[in-house]
């Protein structure tokens, strides 16, 4: 078990985290937590203008509502391929006509100073295309996860943003979530000793979607590994503070008549240095949502680890981390806005998203060849 000194550190961290949660509504997690990175922030009253590209369920139900509570950015524009959606969005969010774009004319964003950031929220196979268009228009790019279909595409996104001197951030909201960040620090500081093993699962139950839905199409980035695999994969990396050196993966079929193109469940084992392994699974037919990290002197876990409604956790010595109030996406976008404003660190750059896609590609190769793949 952790020493009395380590336990005291844990309790101090927990008390500090609770104080940060209280501040969320008034000053935002991003500003209150930046001191942990050794950054002295000067207050800023400027709000960045955000344009949501893709007005599907995630934008409609999560990002747009979360932007109503952000302190450092606000919803000012939309980019959509469905004209019928425009009127309701304009009415609900007071979006000016000049800030409404289609996919065909979004290059005209270059002439619109109202928009600082384009948040790409379309199927994975389209991330590269629209990230490039946004960057070439001189706009910062926020891109939903998974970052792209291949590591090569990820690199192209990184390169085009660097070329245009704009910032690229990937939408890993859990890396902004306070309980997840606190458990990351457990690994960094080895409060429970060295990590020995990891168990991680992410999935949602069901029997598939209509065949014409993009999540059922391989070339669009559908299936369990692209849709849900980044949760156990990135969670294992983030909460161990290590990168894997090999992977072995298998696809599990229970609905072959429905899932004709994409994987419905993928089980995979990540190998880390020093013999550490992560037993992982991603599914779109099974419900699970948990990560547990075993260490030499105890354990810590998030259960659930990625729920929109809240992430909660506990440890082997009785520390309990309750879900924060408010939306994780609000914290994420405020953090990313502050990074652009040079008021805080960039927490999830493109290189982080690319690391995961490199492993995702290796998972499919391992499952196809039936062998272990080194990374």
DSSP assignment of 96-157 equals: -GGGEE-TTTGGGGGG-TT--EEEE-S-GGGHHHHHHHHHHTT-EEEEPSS--SSHHHHHHH
- Residue 13 located in a structural domain: no
Clarify whether residues 183 and 318 are in a common domain.
Answer: yes
Clarify whether residues 186 and 305 are in a common domain.
Answer: yes
**Helix, strand, coil abundance in the chain, percent, nearest 5:** 45, 20, 35
Q: What is the pLDDT of residues 142-196, one digit of tens each?
A: 999 999 999 999 999 999 999 999 999 999 999 999 999 999 999 999 999 999 9
Clarify whether residues 294 and 230 are in a common domain.
Answer: yes
Clarify whether residues 60 and 142 are in a common domain.
Answer: yes
- Residue 359 located in a structural domain: no
- Residue 357 located in a structural domain: no
Residue 342 to residue 337: CA distance in whole angstroms: 9
CATH number of the CATH domain containing 165: 3.40.50.720
Clarify whether residues 207 and 263 are in a common domain.
Answer: yes
- Residue 244 located in a structural domain: yes
- Residue 159 located in a structural domain: yes
Give the pLDDT of residue 44.
65
CATH number of the CATH domain containing 271: 3.30.360.10
Clarify whether residues 234 and 140 are in a common domain.
Answer: no
- Residue 287 located in a structural domain: yes
Clarify whether residues 189 and 129 are in a common domain.
Answer: no
Q: Which of 173, 206, 223 is the last residue of a domain?
A: 173
- Residue 168 located in a structural domain: yes
- Residue 17 located in a structural domain: no
Residue 76 to residue 269: CA distance in whole angstroms: 43
Which sign, positive or negative, has the C-alpha torsion 368, 369, 372, 375? negative
Torsion of CA 324, 293, 62, 261, to 10 degrees: -170
Clarify whether residues 233 and 163 are in a common domain.
Answer: no
Predicted model pTM: 0.90
Clarify whether residues 95 and 125 are in a common domain.
Answer: yes
3-state secondary structure 223-288: CHHHHCCHHHHHHHHHHHCCCCCEEEEEEECCCCCCCCCCCCEEEEEEECHHHCEEEEEEECCCCE
Give the pLDDT of residue 45.
80
Clarify whether residues 187 and 308 are in a common domain.
Answer: yes
Give the pLDDT of residue 38.
34
Report how many domains make up the chain.
2
Which residue range is the domain that position 62 belongs to? 48-173
Give the containing element (helix H, strand E) for 350. helix 350-369
Give the pLDDT of residue 343.
96
Give the pLDDT of residue 31.
43
Clarify whether residues 221 and 299 are in a common domain.
Answer: yes
Q: Which of 278, 299, 323 is the last residue of a domain?
A: 323
Going by the DSSP 8-state scheme, the letter that residue 46 receives in this structure is -
Q: Which of 173, 191, 209 is the last residue of a domain?
A: 173
Give the pLDDT of residue 34.
43
Report residues of the chain scoring pLDDT below 70.
1-44
Dmax (CA) for the chain in angstroms is 62
Does residue 64 contact residue 329 with C-beta atoms inside 8 Å? no
Give the pLDDT of residue 43.
59
Clarify whether residues 92 and 141 are in a common domain.
Answer: yes
Give the pLDDT of residue 5.
41
């Amino acid at each position: 078990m952790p020493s009395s000194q380590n336990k005291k550190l844990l309790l101090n961290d927990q008390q500090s985290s609770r104080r940060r949660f209280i501040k969320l509504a008034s000053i935002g997690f991003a500003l209150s937590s930046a001191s942990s990175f050794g950054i002295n922030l000067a207050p800023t009253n400027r709000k960045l203008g955000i344009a949501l590209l893709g007005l599907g369920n995630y934008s409609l139900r999560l990002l747009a509502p979360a932007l109503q509570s952000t302190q450092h950015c606000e919803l000012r524009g939309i980019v959509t391929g469905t004209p019928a959606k425009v009127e309701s969005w304009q009415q609900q969010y007071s979006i000016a006509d000049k800030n409404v774009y289609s996919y065909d004319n979004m290059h005209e964003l270059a002439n619109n100073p109202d928009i600082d950031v384009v948040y790409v929220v379309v199927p994975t196979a389209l991330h590269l295309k629209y990230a490039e268009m946004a960057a070439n228009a001189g706009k910062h790019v926020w891109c939903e996860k998974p970052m792209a279909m291949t590591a090569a595409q990820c690199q192209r996104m990184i390169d085009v943003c660097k070329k245009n001197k704009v910032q690229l951030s990937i939408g890993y909201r859990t890396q902004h979530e306070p309980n997840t960040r606190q458990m990351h620090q457990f690994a960094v500081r080895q409060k429970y000793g060295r990590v020995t093993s990891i168990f991680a699962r992410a999935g949602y139950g069901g029997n598939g979607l209509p065949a014409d839905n993009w999540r059922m199409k391989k070339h669009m980035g559908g299936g369990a590994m692209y849709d849900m695999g980044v949760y156990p994969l990135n969670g294992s990396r983030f909460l161990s503070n290590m990168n894997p050196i090999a992977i072995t993966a298998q696809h599990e079929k229970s609905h072959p008549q429905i899932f004709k193109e994409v994987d419905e469940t993928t089980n995979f084992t990540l190998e880390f240095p020093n013999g550490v392994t992560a037993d992982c699974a991603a599914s779109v037919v099974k419900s699970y949502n948990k990560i547990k990290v075993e260490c030499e002197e105890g354990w810590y876990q998030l259960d659930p680890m990625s729920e929109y409604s809240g992430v909660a956790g506990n440890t082997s010595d009785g520390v309990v981390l309750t879900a924060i109030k408010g939306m994780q996406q609000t914290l994420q976008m405020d953090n990313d806005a502050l990074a652009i404003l040079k008021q805080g660190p960039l927490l999830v750059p493109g290189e982080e998203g690319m690391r995961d896609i490199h492993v995702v590609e290796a998972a499919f190769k391992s499952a196809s060849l039936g062998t272990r793949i080194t990374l």
